[in-house]
Structure 1
Amino acid sequence: MIPRTEYLVSSRIPKEAEFWMPTEEEIPDDEGIGYFRGVWMILGVTFEEAHAIVSAEATQIAVIDSLAQTETQFEEIAHACDTGLVNGVADELVRRQLLQRIPSLSEEGADDFYEELGGLEVGVAGLTHAVSYIGGVPAASCRGHVSERCWSENPAVFIAIDRQRAEWLEPLLREAGCGYHIDPARPEFLVIDAPSVIESNALARLILDRFDGVDRFDRWLDLSGL
């Protein structure tokens, strides 16, 4: 059972898109861009790094889909995949199945950074790293939660990106069932959104399948100097 938000998805680039990309001077040493909390820069991701996370995420989503019976249980299991710890899953049988089917999970001992998904949430970790792989700059991501403290109800990834990359992504967004929008509070970013984690992971897989190398786009920054 995967929660899904029903809304009109548009893969078209919004007319007001600014196509802003940070310069080397605008990239901080120890935090992310856009004044989000608890974020960090994810730059220069290789195909191998992105593929590992996208594949692990696809496996985890399939397991979540097969085990979760309610939205509450979905949140419990997804949070276990976010953190690497299953002790927040109420159902003991489900905890056991998670440990069997996702060997990287544990009952205790994991630290704050769960490497399987690069420290991000299942459902947006793959897309975040796929965007970085093609030379975009992820700023923040959220799987979507039904909570007053959550800033998104469905999967969303804020990205700094230029026009050529954004246009290349358009047909892939349409194929995967994802969309673009602009948050008025941070209009310099494009936001990729998805009705559920299934579509966001599908988009990540399409990006890795269709991208034919960094020479396709202009280089906006020499990452070797960072």
Structure 2
Amino acid sequence: MIPRFESSDAEIPPQAAFWMPTEEDIPADEGIGFFRNVWMILGVSRVEADVMASQESEYIAKIDDLTASPEEFERVAACLDRECVDSTRDPDTSERLLEAFPGLIDESDDETYNDEPFMDLGSLEVGVAALSRALAYIGGVPVASCRAHIASGSWADRPVVYAALNRQRVEWLQPLIRENDCGFHTDPNRGQFLVVDAPSIVESNALALRIVRDFSRDGCGFERWLDLKSFDWFYGASED
């Protein structure tokens, strides 16, 4: 019972800025674009992007099997976002979740010990984590993302990733956006970024998988926009 929304079309918005940050725009301890609780995601490797997209795909399928309504799907997905459950609030759901995802923590149990590490999504939300990493893998700069939360309200009305992307990368992405039923749009309040959106997290995850597969396969050589090694604070994955 995965929530579904409307999405934009795959046409590149005529007002797209194709802006990319410079070294002076990159902070050491936060993100860009005046979003709250964000950070820079840079230098993502092919392996990291591929593992993230595959793991997220498994999570989405498992959550779908465990839930019977879009609202329940959102509640369960939120537990994975936080990497924990509270068995005192919903014992039945918590039991099923802990069985399906053994690495989750039961925050109501001080004795909980996880002998199976939980493969988290980098503190991003299920359904947009992989797409954020995939856009970073091809040299874009994801700056904010949201799954769209039907139960609790949301600043996004569909799954979105805001990103800084130049024209070369956008034109390479466009056919993949179209083939995976995703879209582009812009936000008048943050016009320097392009927004990649999807009608559900199934499509956003499929797009992430396709980006990683096609970029790896055809060896697209995009011009490097920044030398990440120039940042003393950067200890990310290889840019290769």
TM-score normalised over the length of structure 2: 0.86
What does 1:1-226 align with in structure 2 at a 5 Å threshold? 1-5=1-5, 7=6, 9-87=8-86, 91-108=90-107, 116-146=120-150, 150-212=154-216, 216-226=221-231
Separation in 1, partners of 2:87, 2:164: 34
SS in 2 for 1:211: helix
- Per-residue CA distance 1:109-166 (angstroms, 9 max, x = gap): 79xxx86100100000000000000000001000001367521121000000100001
1:39-62 per-residue CA deviation (whole Å, 9 max, x = no partner) reads 000001011111221111111100
Deviation, 1:97, is 2.3
RMSD across aligned positions (CA)? 2.0
Contact in 1 for aligned 2:4/2:200 (Cα 8 Å) = yes
TM-score by length of 1: 0.91
- The 1:115–1:34 alpha-carbon spacing in structure 2 relative to 1, beyond 3 Å, is farther
Distance verdict in 2 for CA 1:89–1:134, change over 3 Å: farther
**Which secondary structure does the structure 2 equivalent of 1:139 belong to?**
strand
Checking the alignment, whether the CA contact within 8 Å between 1:76 and 1:88 is kept in structure 2 is: no
**Structure 1 counterpart of 2:199, which letter?**
P
Q: What is the CA–CA distance in structure 1 between the aligned matches of 2:138 and 2:24, rounded to whole Å? A: 21
Larger Rg belongs to:
2
Q: CA deviation at 1:32?
A: 0.3
1:23-80 CA distance string (max 9 Å, x none): 0111011100100000000001011111221111111100111111123211210101
What is the identity, as a one-letter code, of the residue corresponding to 2:227?
A: D
What CA distance in whole angstroms lies between the structure 1 residues aligned with 2:88 and 2:170?
38
Conserved? CA contact 1:2–1:65, under 8 Å: yes
Distance 2:219 2:24 in 1: 22
* Runs of at least 5 residues in structure 2 that lack an aligned partner in the other structure: 113-117, 232-240
215-224 vs 84-93, greater mean Cα deviation: 84-93
Identical-residue share of aligned pairs (%): 50
* Count of residue pairs brought into register by the alignment: 222
Structure 1 residue runs without a partner (length 5+):
none
